[in-house]
Amino acid sequence: MLRKWMFQPFDVPKYPYPLGLGLLLLSSITLILLLCSCTPPPGYQVLDLRTMPQEPAAYLDETTATVPLMDEKTQHLAAQNFLTHHFSPWGTNTPLELTRNPFWALEWIEAKQVFGHNLLPLSQEAINTLRQRCAASEYPSMGQHGISVAHIDVRALPTLAPLFNNPRQPGEGFPFDYMQHGVLPAGTPVLVTHSSPDRNWLFIETPLLYGWVPATAVAWVDAPFKAQYTKAEFIALLKDGYPLHSDSGGALPPSRSGTILPLLGHTPTQYTVAVPRVNRSGNAVVERASVSTTIARPFPLSFTPAQIAALSSYFMQQPYSWGDRFSGRDCSGTMRDLFTPFGIWLPRNSGKQAAEGKVIDLRKIPLSHRREYIATHAIPFATLVHMPGHIMLYLGEYQGKSVVLHALWGVRHNSVTGEESRIIVGRTAITSLEPGAELKRWFAGVSSLLPRLDHINIPHIRALDPFHQLPLPTTEATETSGVAAQKQNSH
């Protein structure tokens, strides 16, 4: 019986489909699996980063590299315009016009589900705590002048903890902490208009940023301090992370590009500068410090393509950081700190930066002519290129492509099923306007920058705005230490 069973043929069921149809079905399934796997591997670098020089000087035109883009008089006016904006918080005791909606983030967390650093929805208890710290109904409760004594993160709410939109969505989660408005360098004049009830947090306003900062990061200024701080020549710091040496031996914040400080004297190898420190009474005092001439220059620098290339090289490969947190920069923070040493005032966010100077609308330019149009109308190393939510510096043309420098988080990528993801770049880089174009197959969509561009603008070509006609804040400006003037319209 065993022998008979061992050699008994098995009953093989008849295949229910014609053989050709079965092979077609098998081929289709295999193709779908292959297509779904056609996404870039982790750590993939877009081709632009591997084939385009990542040194800005490589794109200079030798015939124009050292030719100033502004004459001396125009640049002097631009620098005065910059300083007037910079010191404007000391010219008023009431909320600044630019502070349109100081409590937008409170409205956001109360109206929408947001997520904390543990990637879980923010609890109602945490929302209540933040609401109490804001004391929004009491704003403005102050009107005092101060100065930052550290590089400070300016927050949308009085907390250092991050808050995110749904981190499971593409382009959300870390590093996109919506509490982070930006960073103000040490030595930035501020207007303090509000505080938390426990006085641990202050609400500050500047022409760049407004928001909450720890109270320990601000010192109060009086008329003598302001006179000493404003009636001086200035230097611009060009690099991050280098030491400033205090004459008294105390610790000082390290250098940060985009910072300007009053110049007190110099030798061939170092500058003596005024750095604000806070005394035991909470007031600002001037600390004399020295900084190497290798990381600073008199303000403003000569605005030439070669100088812009040299300065922008310091930003290359710097990690992308939303709101300039964690010692990095985002796209608009990079542009802001790049143009500052030349005395060219730029606002802090990309949309407002794109409205500065001579603005050229690209929206009506056919896509097939857009790159050529940019090449014809843009000035290399002096033109900003904008699309909603992002801004870049135009460097010129390279092998038939428009070249830009920008702090870029990632390149949008769509799978065959339409699922959106990011090819992470995560740093300041030089690319074309179509990074990742090599991945454009019928099964893998890459979102080009070119169709989304709306404007280019040349910030230094402008009739200086009316702001520059205002005098610098006078030392006689009234100080108040209690409840300030009437609440301004925040819309």
Q: Which of 359, 356, 375, 364 is nearest to 433 (CA)?
A: 375
Q: Give every strand in the sheet of 189-195, ordered side by side.
A: 180-184, 152-155, 210-214, 201-205, 189-195, 144-148, 218-220
Of 293, 252, 289, 254, whose CA–CA distance to 270 is shortest?
Answer: 293
**Cβ atoms of 266 and 285 closer than 8 Å:** no
Q: What is the pTM of this model?
A: 0.85
pLDDT value at residue 417: 64
Amino acid at residue number 272: T
Check whether 21 has a pLDDT greater than 90. Answer: no
For 97-129, write each residue's pLDDT tens digit: 999 899 999 999 999 999 999 999 999 999 999
Q: Residue 5 contacts by C-beta under 8 Å, 6 or more apart in sequence?
A: none
Measure CA 299 to chain center: 22
Q: CB count, 10 Å around CB of 424?
A: 17
Confidence of residue 68 (pLDDT cuts 50, 70, 90): very high
Taking residues 45-67, what's their average pLDDT? 97
Q: Could you please report the per-residue DSSP string of 44-57? A: ---HHHHHS---GG
- Label residue 349 by pLDDT band (50, 70, 90): very high
- pLDDT exceeds cutoff 50 at 394: yes
Q: What is the pLDDT of residue 25?
A: 61
Q: What is the mean pLDDT of residues 359-370?
A: 95
Q: What is the mean pLDDT of residues 183-190?
A: 97
Least confident interval from 232-241, 256-265, 309-318, 437-446: 437-446
* H or E element at residue 212: strand 210-214
Instruction: Please state, in angstroms and as integers, the Cα–Cα distance from residue 300 to each residue in 116, 379, 457, following that order.
Output: 42, 20, 21
Write the pLDDT tens digit of every residue in 405-438. Answer: 999 999 987 766 667 788 899 999 999 999 988 8
For the chain, domains (ranges, CATH) are 47-67+303-466 (3.90.1720.10), 72-217 (no CATH), 222-301 (2.30.30.40)
Other CB atoms within a 10 A radius of the CB of residue 20 amount to: 8
When pLDDT is cut at 50, 70 and 90, the band that residue 474 belongs to is very low
Q: Which helix (H) or strand (E) holds 130?
A: helix 124-134
Percent of the chain with pLDDT over 90: 77
Confidence of residue 489 (pLDDT cuts 50, 70, 90): very low
The reply to whether omega before 300 is within 30° of 0 (cis) is yes
pLDDT for res 24:
61
Q: Which of 13-17, 108-112, 294-298, 317-321 has the lowest mean pLDDT?
A: 13-17
Q: Evaluate whether 263 touches 233 at the Cβ level (below 8 Å).
A: yes
| Span 142-164, pLDDT tens digits | 999 999 999 999 999 999 999 99
**Mean pLDDT score, 178-190:** 97
Share of the chain above pLDDT 70, in %: 84
pLDDT value of position 480: 29
Give the C-alpha separation, 371 to 456, whole Å: 11
124-134 vs 104-111: helix axis angle to the nearest 10? 160
Q: What is the DSSP letter of 355?
A: T
**What confidence category does residue 219 fall into, taking pLDDT thresholds of 50, 70 and 90?**
very high
Contacts for 65 with CB less than 8 Å, ≥ 6 apart: 304, 305, 306, 309
Query: Judging by DSSP bridges, how do beta strands 218-220 and 144-148 pair with one another?
Result: antiparallel
Cα–Cα dist 51/403, whole Å? 12
The residues, ordered by sequence, that sit 6+ positions from 331 with a Cβ below 8 Å of its Cβ are 350, 390, 391, 392, 406, 407, 408
CA distance 236 to 299: 5
